[in-house]
């Protein structure tokens, strides 16, 4: 065999072996590719199933959160309405007590006048023997009684007129308001409202209103509601301390107004139980209350803060010491 033929046969055999090896390797690669593709498809199917499950869970959770949010908003609205009704109840009790006082005078003087008239008729029936001096005295007493009836009747009418003026103010309507008068009125109503519930309650009220304070533009009923809340809380604090039975303790609430440059300050100070630093930090948070269950919603000061800060561009702050009373300060643009 020639060398050339031998080399050709050798190369042919090597080529055949390489071709077979390549064919095997190609088959292995195709098999691995098929396995990889199957695994990838399986992973994709598993991932799709997991995604679908996750989407369903997210959808369910979203629906649950939406329902919870709806329930929370409804509960919040109910609590806000409850707080408004509580303020209305305190205001109504104060108004009723304020009106009751002059009406009691009217009733008493009317009854006394009826007795005087009966006595006068009896004296006049005596004819010529009637005592002229006594009749004159009875006439003078009747005149004084009628004056007092008129005075207390006008006082009751003034209270009703003031309340009607407040009720006729449109929601959110700002108008120049006599701040001293508004503060004094709601202080009296808050005190009388508490006295209507607790006849034994007494407190030393001190007022220091800035003289000749110019009218302040505000939503009167809203600011009045804030003042009513602050006054009610002050009375609650001093009553709580009084009930401890501390020797020599005199419940005191002091209210003042002050003009400071382009601002007006209203301070409500009490010598009640006071607050700890931890309580003071949370006092304006919604639903936070230091009162026992059923006595407070925890929204009074939160709503008051919003009325002053958001509704009037002012500030509401507090300084307090445990056992040393509290001072709330409202600052409004003058």
3-class state of residue 276 by DSSP = coil
Residues near 241 by Cβ (< 8 Å), separated by ≥ 6?
249, 251, 271, 272, 273
49 Cα distance to chain centroid: 50
pLDDT for residue 224: 87
How do residues 259-282 score in pLDDT, each as one tens digit?
998 899 999 999 998 988 888 888
Q: Tell the residue number behind the tokens 């304006």, with chain if given.
A: 284
Given phi > 0 = left and psi -120 to 50 = alpha, else beta, which region is 306?
alpha
pLDDT for residue 250: 92
Residues near 319 by Cβ (< 8 Å), separated by ≥ 6?
326, 327, 329
What are the two backbone dihedrals, phi and then psi, of residue 38, each rounded to the nearest 5 degrees? -65, -45
Counting as low any pLDDT under 50, the low residues of the chain are 169-170, 297-298
Residues in the chain: 334
pLDDT for residue 35: 82
Return d(Cα 49, Cα 250) in angstroms, integer: 74
């Amino acid at each position: 065999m020639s060398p050339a033929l031998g080399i050709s046969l050798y190369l042919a055999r090597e080529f055949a072996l390489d071709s077979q090896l390549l064919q095997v390797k190609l088959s292995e690669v195709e098999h691995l590719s098929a396995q990889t593709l199957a695994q990838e498809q399986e992973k994709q199917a598993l991932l799709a199933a997991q995604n679908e499950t996750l989407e369903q869970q997210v959808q369910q959770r979203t629906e649950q959160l939406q329902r919870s949010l709806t329930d929370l908003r409804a509960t919040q609205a109910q609590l806000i309405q409850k707080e408004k009704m509580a303020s209305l109840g305190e205001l109504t009790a104060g108004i009723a007590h304020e009106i009751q006082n002059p009406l009691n005078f009217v009733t008493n003087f009317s009854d006394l006048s009826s007795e005087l008239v009966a006595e006068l008729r009896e004296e006049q029936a005596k004819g010529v023997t009637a005592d002229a001096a006594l009749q004159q005295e009875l006439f003078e007493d009747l005149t004084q009684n009628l004056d007092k009836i008129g005075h207390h009747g006008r006082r009751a009418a003034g209270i009703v007129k003031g309340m009607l003026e407040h009720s006729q103010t449109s929601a959110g309507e700002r108008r120049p308001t006599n701040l001293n008068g508004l503060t004094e009125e709601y202080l009296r109503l808050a005190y009388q409202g508490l006295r209507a519930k607790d006849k034994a309650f007494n407190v030393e009220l001190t007022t220091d209103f800035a003289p000749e304070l110019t009218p302040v533009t505000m939503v009167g009923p809203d600011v009045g509601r804030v003042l009513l809340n602050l006054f009610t809380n002050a009375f609650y604090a001093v009553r709580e301390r009084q009930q401890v039975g501390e020797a020599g303790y005199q419940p005191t609430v002091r209210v003042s107004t002050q003009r400071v440059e382009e601002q007006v300050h209203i301070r409500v100070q009490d010598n009640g139980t006071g607050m700890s630093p931890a309580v003071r930090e949370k006092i304006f948070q919604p639903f936070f209350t230091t009162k026992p269950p059923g006595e407070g919603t925890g929204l009074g000061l939160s709503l008051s803060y919003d009325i002053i800060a958001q509704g009037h561009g002012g500030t509401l702050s507090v300084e307090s010491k445990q056992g040393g009373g509290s001072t709330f300060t409202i600052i409004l643009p003058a």
